[in-house]
Amino acid sequence: MKGIAFALGKTNYELIIYTVNSTDNVGAFLASIALSGSLDGLIILSLPFTVDDAKRLTDHKVVTVVVEYEQEFFSSVDIDNSTGGEMAGKYLLEKGHRRIGFIGEIYPPDYAIRPALARLNGLRKVMAEAGADIPEYYVQSAPIEPESTRQAATKLLSLPDRPTAIFAAADVQAMVLMKVAADMGLKVPQDVAVLGFDGLEYAEFMGLTTINQSLVDSGRIAADLLLNQLTGASPSVQHIKLPLSLIERETV
């Protein structure tokens, strides 16, 4: 949202925020927005919608851009999560790791996008190609929430054949891993390397090595896509895959 706000701050468009709880009826909400007729455009952040929802927005000429996943109806900005997992695997292999654990929200509720699973699959693929398959007990699913993540971290770090590196599919989960490791007297990265994913501002405070998905850029680019469609500068639907980058700090 910061990226969207910055991009629109340079224009005469006003940024209006609608908050939708994941348990609300997203369809009814989008319908009311479409019908209100007061919007020039709409950016949907990390919220799934149905084909009917999309048609309603199109029928009411609400120019829409979607952030976090690609679909056929609207322009989108997202990342290739599988590629992100492959980057994680390649980097950890390069650093000499072959026993790699994983923590992530593999089984999110139905409504959610499932990026963590794609990240795991990318990691698995690269490790398998290197002849270092990831055993099932090295993979811990945990919702992005402190207590579950801590349990998952404790399980992985307590294994007799503890992984030498752990890839956490979210930076906040990597932070939990670092905390649990410190409590167990394990040094990062000497005893266990930790690699995150997201590139949160807070990750920098923790010195976390992470795969950066440039969230601020995604907002800025979504706003630019929307503006280009509104002004007619570039009216067609476009799907932008943001490049991922590895930020090397101190935990791998």
Q: Could you give the C-alpha distances from 133 to 100, 120, 121, 130, 229, in angstroms and in order?
A: 9, 12, 12, 8, 46
Nearest to 65 by CA among 42, 47, 86, 83: 42
Backbone angles phi, psi at 208, to 5 degrees: -80, 130
Q: Is residue 25 near a copy of itself by the rule CB under 8 A?
A: no
Question: CB 103 → a copy of itself: shortest distance, Å?
Answer: 12
Angstrom distance (rounded) from CA 125 to CA 129: 6
For 9, other C-beta atoms within 10 Å of its C-beta total 10
Distance CA 187, CA 143 (A): 25
Q: Find the binder of a copy of itself among 188, 194, 225, 252 (CB under 8 A).
A: 188
130 versus 182: smaller Cβ distance to a copy of itself:
182
Instruction: Give the nearer residue to a copy of itself in terms of CB position, either 133 or 250.
Output: 250
User: Is 18 a residue that touches a copy of itself (CB under 8 A)?
Assistant: yes
Binds a copy of itself (CB under 8 A): choice among 79, 176, 215, 226 = 176
User: Interface with a copy of itself by CB under 8 A: which range of 61-69, 117-125, 131-139, 203-211?
Assistant: 203-211
- Residue 125's alpha-carbon distances to 69, 97, 102, 234, 244, in angstroms, are 22, 15, 13, 37, 18
Give the tokens for residue 70. 């690609």
- Member of 169, 206, 215, 226 binding a copy of itself (CB under 8 A): 206
Q: Under rule CB under 8 A, which residues in 136-175 are in contact with a copy of itself?
A: 146, 149-150, 172-173, 175
Q: Which residue has the tokens 């971290």?
A: 153
Q: Please report how close the Cβ of residue 83 comes to a copy of itself at its closest, in angstroms.
A: 26
**Which of 40, 133, 204, 248 is the binder for a copy of itself (CB under 8 A)?**
204
Binding a copy of itself (rule: CB under 8 A), the pick from 27, 135, 207, 243 is 207
15, 93, 237, 242: which one contacts a copy of itself (CB under 8 A)?
15
What are the backbone dihedrals phi and psi of residue 164, each rounded to the nearest 5 degrees, phi first? -85, -15
* Distance of closest approach, residue 183 Cβ to a copy of itself, in angstroms: 8
Identity of the residue, 39 or 132, whose beta carbon is nearer to a copy of itself in the bound complex = 39
Other beta carbons within 10 angstroms of residue 204's beta carbon come to: 13
**Residue 182 touches a copy of itself, criterion: CB under 8 A:** yes
- 170 closest CA partner among 221, 119, 128, 107: 119
Q: How would you classify the pairing of strands 63-67 and 41-45?
A: parallel
Contacting positions for a copy of itself (CB under 8 A): 1-2, 5-6, 9, 14-19, 146, 149-150, 172-173, 175-176, 178-179, 181-183, 185, 187-188, 202, 204-207, 250
